[in-house]
Amino acid sequence: MKTSMSSTKDLVKVDDYCSKFNLSTLHPLVSVHDLSEGTWEGQEHADAVRYHFYGIFLKQGEGCILKYGRQNYDYQDGTLVFLAPGQLVHVGHIDKNFKPSGHALLFHPDLLWGTHLAKTMTDYTFFSYQFHEALHVSEKERQLVLDLFDKIRAELSQGIDKHSKELVIVNIELFLKYCMRFYDRQFITREKENLGVIQRFENSLNSYIQTGKARELGIPSVSYFAEEQNLSSNYFGDLVKKETGKSAHDHIQAKIIEVAKEKIFDPDKSLSQIAYELGFRYPQHFTRLFKNKVGYTPNEYRRMN
């Protein structure tokens, strides 16, 4: 959904979010809140909000107003949603009597400078999952989340000293590691649905190459197959890796090599023709991939067989 600049509100600082709900910011770069302690006073409405910091929200109760694209997300009690800097969130109409609920952990990228977490944030791919790929936590998991939120909040609420930042960062990192474990559990409990995703991926990959789409559209990409199933690239990639032990990218390359080996046996096809049919714009790129995966160039492989 495209949104005009006039209807998009940028939340640049952590305090920009807190002030929306009349909550006190615990620290300029990081804050933890029980949202039920805040109030909404009918401030200016925007169709969408763009975050410039990380936001993690534990949904509790009813009254979800977040949207992704054109679809409302049907939150369940005990759902964790992750937002990354630059992410645009669409919001529905907010009633003047709206009462916020749930819990929020907000932290700015500047907080991470010079820390171990700054180097590993890209490992937490769930920050770029779509809302319908949110994490549903059990009662036991939710309590662990709240305990870690309380530890961060307690650290921020007392006097800041030389240990404060390290302790806050350590607890944020511990929380994110637990979330990785929770997502692994969620992938396992949705095994039946996940196998359907894998099967559709394999069928679509075969079709893409065999029906000439590769020649028309180029080498198949992970994002192409993710979009086909209405999934984000990261969620789709993580799901494929957890279910099969290989990345989606590896699956695609393996299929390309498998089909290439078959085509190489056709003496009427030149190696350039084969490269174009597989989606390569330049034959030398095909040769490089084939040599890397098989150990021989396509020409050498053809002569050997």
Which domain CATH number covers 225? 1.10.10.60
Phi-psi region of 199 (alpha: psi -120 to 50; beta: other; left: phi over 0): alpha
The one-letter code for the residue type at 89 is V
With 70 as the cut, is the pLDDT of residue 169 above it? yes
Helix axes 233-244, 164-189, angle to 10 degrees: 60
Residues 30 and 163 in one domain: yes
- CA separation for the pair 147, 151 (Å, rounded): 6
Residues 184 and 208 in one domain: no
pLDDT at 159: 74
Residues 85 and 14 in one domain: yes
Residue where one domain finishes, among candidates 144, 165, 189: 189
- CA separation for the pair 11, 55 (Å, rounded): 11
pLDDT band at 59 (very low <50, low <70, confident <90, very high): confident
Residues 59 and 138 in one domain: yes
Looking up residue 24, the CATH number of its domain turns out to be 2.60.120.280
Domain that holds residue 114: 5-189
- Is the alpha carbon torsion for 253, 257, 263, 264 positive or negative? positive
Q: What is the pLDDT of residues 74-99, one digit of tens each?
A: 445 578 989 999 888 776 555 566 67
The one-letter code for the residue type at 159 is G
β-pair type (71-72, 103-107) = unpaired
Residues 203 and 73 in one domain: no
Q: What is the pLDDT of residues 244-277, one digit of tens each?
A: 989 999 999 999 999 999 999 888 889 999 999 9
- CA separation for the pair 68, 219 (Å, rounded): 29
Residue where one domain finishes, among candidates 131, 157, 189: 189
Residues 86 and 57 in one domain: yes
Q: What is the pLDDT of residues 213-255, one digit of tens each?
A: 999 999 999 999 999 998 989 999 999 998 898 999 999 999 9
Residues 48 and 19 in one domain: yes
pLDDT at 94: 56
Q: What is the mean pLDDT of the chain?
A: 85
Residues 154 and 205 in one domain: no
Number of domains in the chain: 2
Region 196-212: mean pLDDT is: 91
Residue where one domain finishes, among candidates 162, 189, 216: 189
Upper half-sphere CA count for residue 149 (Cβ side, 13 Å) = 22
With 60 as the cut, is the pLDDT of residue 185 above it? yes
pLDDT band at 33 (very low <50, low <70, confident <90, very high): very high
Residue 257 sits at φ, ψ, to 5 deg, of -65, -40
pLDDT band at 192 (very low <50, low <70, confident <90, very high): confident
With 50 as the cut, is the pLDDT of residue 1 above it? no
Residues 165 and 36 in one domain: yes
Start-to-end CA distance of the chain, whole Å, equals 53
Residues 177 and 201 in one domain: no
Residues 239 and 121 in one domain: no
Cite the beta strand spans of the chain per DSSP E: 8-11, 30-34, 48-51, 54-59, 66-68, 71-72, 79-83, 88-91, 103-107, 135-136
Q: Are 54 and 84 in contact (CB under 8 A)?
A: yes
Residues 70 and 215 in one domain: no
